[in-house]
Amino acid sequence: MGAFFKILIALPALLLLGSLGCVQAQFNVELVDAKTMLENQVLGSYAELGEDVWMVSNVRATGELIYGYEPLIPEGELDPEKAAALTALLDTLYTADEVTRLKVVGLIGETAGGYLAVTPSGEGDVYAEEIVGRENNNRGLIYDRLAVTTPELAHSPNPRAEVEGIFARYFREKLAPGMYYLDEAGNWLQL
């Protein structure tokens, strides 16, 4: 007898027992659209990249200096694009407190494109501009990696733009009250 028929036969008995209070079951069904599934896949790939960072972060490496320190990923052990993305993610983790501090004081904010920008009150602040450039470079390397390693983006005409849009929403949702973001129309708004 097929599984469907077994369930069909057992269902009335379960309903009867449930109505008597002997068995209690709760089912939660969450429907997600294709866009949400893609976002979950890209963010899952981002989490996997983060796991790879921790695996290689204890390895002493040689190579050119990046932002004043040597990359922690050994040359030749990873493909260059993955090594670049891992190094970028390490640097993003390293500067995360500074990025947050600059957001809190209103010198930088998130954009609708998934990158940082200097706010009007931060214009001319050399340090804020340096951090924004550094973080945006890192994000670009990470986005490139995710665009080519996420299978669901294989048929997309512009996978990088899709990844940027997903992270624009991701970073916007993480903004705390008082922080700024630049909307699609080019207006700075404060949460």
Among the residue ranges 2-6, 56-60, 116-120, 121-125, the one predicted with the least confidence is 56-60
Distance CA(165)–CA(163), nearest Å, equals: 5
Residue 98 confidence (pLDDT): 93
**Contact indicator for 103, 180 with CB cutoff of 8 Å:** yes
User: How many domains, the chain?
Assistant: 1
Confidence of residue 68 (pLDDT cuts 50, 70, 90): low
Mean pLDDT, to the nearest integer, of 119-126?
93
User: Using one digit for the tens of pLDDT, what is the confidence trace for 171-183?
Assistant: 999 999 999 999 9
Residue 188 confidence (pLDDT): 95
Residue 62 confidence (pLDDT): 43
Residue 92 included in any domain: yes
User: Using one digit for the tens of pLDDT, what is the confidence trace for 71-117?
Assistant: 555 555 667 888 888 888 888 888 889 999 999 999 999 999 999 99
186 against 66, higher pLDDT: 186
Q: Would you say residue 19 has pLDDT above 50?
A: yes
Residue 39 included in any domain: yes
Neighbour tally for 7: CB within 10 Å: 10
Please, what's the b/e burial string for 164-185 (b: 16 or more CB within 10 A of its CB; e: otherwise)?
bbbbbeebbeeeeeebbbbeee
Residue 8 included in any domain: no
Considering Cα of 64, then 67, then 71, then 72, what sign does the dihedral take? positive
Neighbour tally for 39: CB within 10 Å: 20
State the burial class of residue 82 (Cβ atoms within 10 Å of its Cβ: 0-12, 13-18, 19+): middle
**Torsion angle, CA of 151/156/157/163, rounded to 10 degrees?**
-80
Reduced to 3 states (helix: H, G, I; strand: E, B; else coil), residue 128 is helix
Residue 60 confidence (pLDDT): 43
Residue 132 included in any domain: yes
Residue 61 confidence (pLDDT): 45
What range does the domain containing 75 cover? 33-190
Residue 119 confidence (pLDDT): 96
Residue 18 included in any domain: no
User: Using one digit for the tens of pLDDT, what is the confidence trace for 24-56?
Assistant: 556 554 544 555 666 766 666 666 666 666 555
User: Using one digit for the tens of pLDDT, what is the confidence trace for 125-166?
Assistant: 999 999 999 999 999 998 998 899 888 888 889 999 999 998
Residue 179 confidence (pLDDT): 95
Residue 5 included in any domain: no
Contacts of 91 (CB under 8 A, 6+ apart): 66, 67, 134, 138
Residue 140 included in any domain: yes
Residue 148 included in any domain: yes
β-pair type (108-111, 116-118): antiparallel
